[in-house]
Structure 1
């Protein structure tokens, strides 16, 4: 990983103190993007944006079709724009470049046209060509789309983002003209619970939900402040100190992606996961599917090939806490409730 002196330095992921829940959820989504993204809820100033940017900086480069507006994969037709797919059909050589995995920030005031892209109707009618101006979803294809304060975003826009994230495609229709392009990205939303929660039906569409709080231990707070001061003083020197750890974690993620398809989860464990979801009255089957995927991603990340009950315990709260029905009279935290039902299902008195 050669330091790019002409780019703005990014805080190293491996130097971030605490917030293990958020870091784990992000890494597991990078290993298996089909988990469905992460919603990070926590206090202001807890490093949500810093951690997401640090993760993107850590990830390996990807191969794209040169000068393509959609970061098309030159080898996978499911991740190609129409123009690149036409080149494949015509047996033309596709020029290939390497780029950093894209990270797109969605501004709060973004319009639907800015997010989805626009069709130039006049050009389409006069010249007979589909003139499309790509939006943020096109730029985010094969990368990460980050929405800060997602709970303040218009519900309709959140719906559009979640639909694209789930299907992997973005369709723009106007005046009878339709354009479709790949939009496969990891959706990461963050927000402060004081500013309001997302509607339950939208919250449920995020694969995982990490809750983070302000670090309370004085010695850790001092360490975080010192780390930041050292980084601000000399970012390149600070990053150089963590170069070895960064490289090791990047390799671990690459290996985990390659190993994922070989990870097994026993039928009995899958049955237990579904028992827990049923006991918690989780609507639909997303909870079951995400828990299975996240457990396998964790096992792959740790270099093993078989899921154990301990793996399920590690990730099940992240996968289910936001899917529970809210009971205003319930005093127990949703995370503890998930763990309680897990212990009951697996016959553990305590964990």
Structure 2
């Protein structure tokens, strides 16, 4: 398995790194969409983050169910074992990070009949797909804007319900599939379907750095990593460990973080000013701001937290305005300045 580039060694791209950390602290934010130039560290950051995540307790089943979850979030086998024994045995496993390749078939993604068992034993058995493997972890889709429509439809159904339902080839299977959806791509190669774009909690734009010193540092660090990956990872081990501890502390603090009425009121005013559809934008801003406050070690969400996350949470939720040629990013930044001042 390739050694991932250390998350702490990634230079610049602060919005992307911050968004990924917030999604790791609170999966209910709804995932991260990273659009931008090729070679700007999108997949590097996602794989680097995965190496930082603390291990989780899981049942020894194809869906690595949470032993403490309610029956609604357990697979059929785990539900039956829990009803019989009262508890479920578990062990520690790494948080799964599953890649969904562009060429994946629908059977590979949602699961299908296990042909080997059907042919050798005459049994109808389900072979879990990538959605099952990603349960309680991250599902990463590179070039998400090029994903085939029938796979997009499957993802939308699962993202909405948290369950994967398979009705085909004589099978009727329902299993939990809750994951943080992370997508990356280049907008010049095609637009993302609005229905799927809306499912991402945060949207990040990354660009090739133009600062000479930053470019030189990126090249120098990448070259050093590729010449001796193990030594490079060891060099950054302490900084990565610090970020890992920060994530763990933030997860514990998150339930205690409060959102004052004034902060919620200002968030709603900002969304009204921007004309965002529905209330998903406000929910995402509040959840992201709460996760950021937890990462900062604060027990209360401040206006500064809202201002920091608002662009990422709202830029992909704006209606097109034929009278305003400004980018969505500029429109959100302008609304923030008008409402909160400099």
TM-score calculated relative to the size of structure 2: 0.94
Q: Are the aligned partners of 2:67 and 2:87 in contact in 1 as well (CA < 8 Å)? A: no
Q: Deviations over 1:184-222 (max 9, x none)?
A: 110000010111221223212210000000011111111
What's the secondary structure of 2:51's corresponding residue?
A: helix
Q: Are the aligned partners of 1:145 and 1:186 in contact in 2 as well (CA < 8 Å)? A: yes
Q: Are the aligned partners of 1:56 and 1:101 in contact in 2 as well (CA < 8 Å)? A: yes
Tell me how far 1:120 sits from its aligned partner.
Answer: 5.6
Runs of 4+ deviating beyond 6 Å:
121-124
Q: Are the aligned partners of 1:101 and 1:143 in contact in 2 as well (CA < 8 Å)? A: yes
Out of 37, 42, 65, the residue aligned to residue 36 of structure 2 is 42
Q: Are the aligned partners of 2:126 and 2:171 in contact in 1 as well (CA < 8 Å)? A: no
Once residues 93 and 281 of structure 2 are traced to their aligned partners in structure 1, the CA distance between those partners, rounded to angstroms, is 34
Q: Are the aligned partners of 1:121 and 1:175 in contact in 2 as well (CA < 8 Å)? A: no
Q: Deviations over 1:66-104 (max 9, x none)?
A: 2x1111112213442211111110016644222211111
Out of 87, 93, 96, the residue aligned to residue 99 of structure 1 is 93
Once residues 212 and 280 of structure 1 are traced to their aligned partners in structure 2, the CA distance between those partners, rounded to angstroms, is 23
Out of 276, 282, 285, the residue aligned to residue 291 of structure 1 is 285
Partner in structure 2 of residue 310 of structure 1: 304
Out of 295, 305, 321, the residue aligned to residue 301 of structure 1 is 295
Q: CA RMSD for the aligned pairs?
A: 2.0
What's the secondary structure of 1:282's corresponding residue?
A: coil
Cα gap change, 1:122 to 1:252, in 2 (>3 Å): closer
Once residues 258 and 66 of structure 2 are traced to their aligned partners in structure 1, the CA distance between those partners, rounded to angstroms, is 28
Once residues 275 and 130 of structure 1 are traced to their aligned partners in structure 2, the CA distance between those partners, rounded to angstroms, is 55
Q: Are the aligned partners of 2:257 and 2:298 in contact in 1 as well (CA < 8 Å)? A: yes
Partner in structure 1 of residue 7 of structure 2: 13
Q: Are the aligned partners of 2:113 and 2:169 in contact in 1 as well (CA < 8 Å)? A: no
Asked if 1:178 corresponds to 2:172, the answer is yes
Cα gap change, 1:333 to 1:177, in 2 (>3 Å): same
Q: Are the aligned partners of 1:36 and 1:166 in contact in 2 as well (CA < 8 Å)? A: no
5+ residue gaps, structure 1: 1-6
Asked if 1:219 corresponds to 2:190, the answer is no
Tell me how far 1:123 sits from its aligned partner.
Answer: 8.0
What's the secondary structure of 1:323's corresponding residue?
A: coil
Worse-matched range after superposition: 90-99 or 14-23: 90-99
5+ residue gaps, structure 2: none
Q: Are the aligned partners of 1:291 and 1:316 in contact in 2 as well (CA < 8 Å)? A: yes
Partner in structure 1 of residue 65 of structure 2: 72
Tell me how far 1:166 sits from its aligned partner.
Answer: 3.4
Aligned length: 339
Asked if 1:282 corresponds to 2:276, the answer is yes
Tell me how far 1:232 sits from its aligned partner.
Answer: 1.0
Q: Are the aligned partners of 1:106 and 1:148 in contact in 2 as well (CA < 8 Å)? A: yes
Q: Deviations over 1:319-341 (max 9, x none)?
A: 00000112355222211211222
